[in-house]
Amino acid sequence: MADVTETLPQGEEKSRRVRAMFDSIADRYDLVNRIMTLGLDVGWRRTAVAELRLAGGSRVADLACGTGDLCRELSAAGYSPVGFDFSTGMLRRATVSAPLVAADVLRLPLGDASVEGATCGFAMRNVADLDALFVETARVVRPAGRVVFLDASRPENALARAGHAVYFGRVVPLIGGALSDADAYRYLPRSLAYLPEPARLLEMLAAAGFGDVRRRAPGAGAAQLLIGTRG
């Protein structure tokens, strides 16, 4: 796994701080997202939904749903989403028709093999245990079901990576500080350190029970999609 500095929280402390952070930034979370990604996050979510390739009406669990952006895209694509998030602040800000449930995505209140698919947007680096997230997702998704995990990433191209480091590491905290909570938007760029390298992420997804795993890197590599089919 990528090196994580001692200043980043771990385990239960991470869960507690992440929940409190998202509760505190919920009111302006969507606005800051649109500004700091230049609106690209909307297209990335639509790409994630398109990668599901499930039958219309399929039930899809949206993990760490936040204010419901992915739930809206799932509904627009003809799916039947249900969102789960442990930040009640984010859930209160949601304006979606899909049912939303206050729950830890590592302990979903769903039966085994009870949904056809699952999505997760910009949350892999915020869970306390990434392996557990993949395993729990595999538990609730039916055989042949599809999953798509969307998150931020660092570009592989050296020039793009340098520009991304400046923008994500310096400009984004300034934007977040001006519009929302400075501490939160200093943490979010640093939280990329929690994510393993791409090859390792795919290995972890496969080990959890998914086949045909692959990765896409839209936005010149500033984002990544992990895609798999439940075995």
Sign of CA dihedral 130, 22, 150, 221: negative
Q: Which of 15-29, 80-94, 164-178 has the lowest mean pLDDT?
A: 164-178
Predicted confidence band of residue 4 (pLDDT cuts 50, 70, 90): very low
Q: Is the pLDDT of residue 142 over 60?
A: yes
Q: Which of 3-12, 78-87, 130-139, 151-160 has the lowest mean pLDDT?
A: 3-12
Q: Is the pLDDT of residue 181 over 50?
A: yes
Q: What percent of the chain has pLDDT over 70?
A: 97
| pLDDT given for residue 139 in this prediction | 98
Question: Does some domain include residue 129?
Answer: yes
Averaged pLDDT, 128-157: 97
Question: Does some domain include residue 57?
Answer: yes
Q: Does residue 227 sit in helix, strand or coil?
A: strand
Owning domain of residue 104: 13-230
CATH code where residue 18 lies: 3.40.50.150
Determine the angle formed by the axes of helices 29-36 and 172-179, rounding to 10 degrees.
150
Question: Does some domain include residue 134?
Answer: yes
Question: Does some domain include residue 2?
Answer: no
Structure tokens that stand for 165 in this block: 């480091």
| pLDDT given for residue 1 in this prediction | 38
- Tell me the per-residue pLDDT of 32-76, one tens digit each, with 9 for 90 and over: 999 999 999 999 999 999 999 999 999 999 999 999 999 999 999
Q: Is the pLDDT of residue 10 over 80?
A: yes
Please tell me the total count of domains within the chain. Answer: 1
DSSP 113-138: T-EEEEEEES-GGGSS-HHHHHHHHH
Predicted confidence band of residue 2 (pLDDT cuts 50, 70, 90): very low
What are the φ/ψ torsions at residue 5 (nearest 5 degrees)? -70, 160
Question: How far is 119 from 46, CA to CA, in rounded Å?
Answer: 11
Question: Does some domain include residue 3?
Answer: no
